[in-house]
Amino acid sequence: MQVDPRLPEIVDCLYRVAVKAVIVEDKKLLLVIEKDDEFWSLPGGGVEYGESVLEALGRELEEELGVPKEKIKTDSKVVHVNIGSVHDGIPKANLYYTVELMADIVSPTKDVVESKWFTVEEIEKLELSPSMGGSEGIAKLLSELDLV
């Protein structure tokens, strides 16, 4: 991969792009705590070089939830965007997709410490990942999806 030599000079305009899965079952949202993290967040993660966003979404859900890619259904439409939050000194740009999958096939992997389904009321009391915009970011997402 050829890297632009100006990269060290333009760090303030670079973002880590990530895909996040919005998975709802019986009015509950699936959240995870990833290994080496202390916050609840939506399952998903960074888009790797040369990978499409949907490939990244499938890979991340397989890595974090143990769900085979062929069991993941999405309409490929971005339902929410969060740009500008900074976590560990890295600006984040998150793309959110609604995903359908059977709740009984979710099985946390070595990359996830815990996964759990939460009601909107329960989510309001959680420590949420700053990369998602914290409680304000998730409130906006839930409102846009008519889950509140």
Asked whether 23 and 96 are in contact (CB, 8 A), the reply is: no
Residue 44: per-residue pLDDT: 95
Give first-to-last CA distance, the chain, whole Å.
44
Residue 18: per-residue pLDDT: 93
CATH class of 7-144: alpha beta
Q: Give CA–CA dist 28/15, Å, rounded.
A: 30
| pLDDT tens figures, 43-70 | 999 999 889 999 999 999 999 999 988 8
pLDDT-based confidence at residue 23 (cuts at 50, 70, 90): very high
Q: Give CA–CA dist 101/88, Å, rounded.
A: 31
pLDDT-based confidence at residue 143 (cuts at 50, 70, 90): confident
Average pLDDT of span 114-133? 87
Q: 51 CB contacts (<8 Å, ≥6 apart)?
A: 59
**Exposed/middle/buried for 109, CB within 10 Å: 0-12, 13-18, 19+?**
middle
92 has pLDDT over 80: yes
Q: Where are the domains of the chain?
A: 7-144
Which residues are registered as beta bridge partners of 45? 19
Q: Give CA–CA dist 77/101, Å, rounded.
A: 16
pLDDT-based confidence at residue 4 (cuts at 50, 70, 90): low
